[in-house]
A and B are shown apart, each in its own frame.
Chain A
């Protein structure tokens, strides 16, 4: 229900961030989470709703590790 996409903060002015998505930039509200330039962030409807934890990159290997105890 909630389209959100990871982008990168390229500019920061108070709680207004400019976030880049492969060459598309939007002004996003950064009041809900602490961000700095260079952070990967999740943006929903013009608002940063979370910073992305780079240690948890959602790579396929991480995904499989999470479910390695499961058999069907």
Chain B
């Protein structure tokens, strides 16, 4: 659906996007993840043909966004960051204007606007001025606008930015629901968001792709993939020496707690689990054991690991 080949975008003296290449297949929900200023918005603006690329080629549904810009734009429903809207228009009036602008006939627009207003939950504010709406409603009006012309591809730039937890959940549910019929590319710097909605994550930093995989695979691929928490009654140093030699253990730190308990934190290799060995070790040495848990690396760990070099 989207094909980005060697995309480079330079502003005066600054490279925002540096030789970026990726594909998004039909029906995928892809999360674009990166710290602020990583080049997410710039890439999306090139895909939506708002900005021309310095170098490289981008096609949407087979249309080159530079040469066949109008045709490409018809396939895209785009919601820019901060959702720009006309403050002095009413919700229904705005959506009808947008529907007609994007090529729907008058009659078709009327029906479709009603549909997307229901879908996005803005029917009850359809007669209100957009300027008087809360942030959550504005976001949903923006989403309704992106959907109104039945685009094959949705591009959403930080769709949950500035919403409260309840609204974030609602928008996420909506995106998941939309993912059944649309191809979606969304950007965010909130990690739980991609974990919750996306089937594939592209992590970019300083205009370059750092990783591209499913959320699960990314977690598994992490070098110090996870940890094990262990709490026993033992001598910290001698126990550390015994634990350290177990296969797959990279690092052991200990912390003494009251009443002779010691808390050990283990960093272990990806895809390994030493809990059985640790339980055996505790039994053999007659260490009283009160905690033994495995912690899986969150996407947040992956993100920090990849973008902090």
| Chain B binds chain A | no
Residues of A at the B interface (CB closer than 8 Å) are none
- Report which B residues bind A (CB closer than 8 A): none
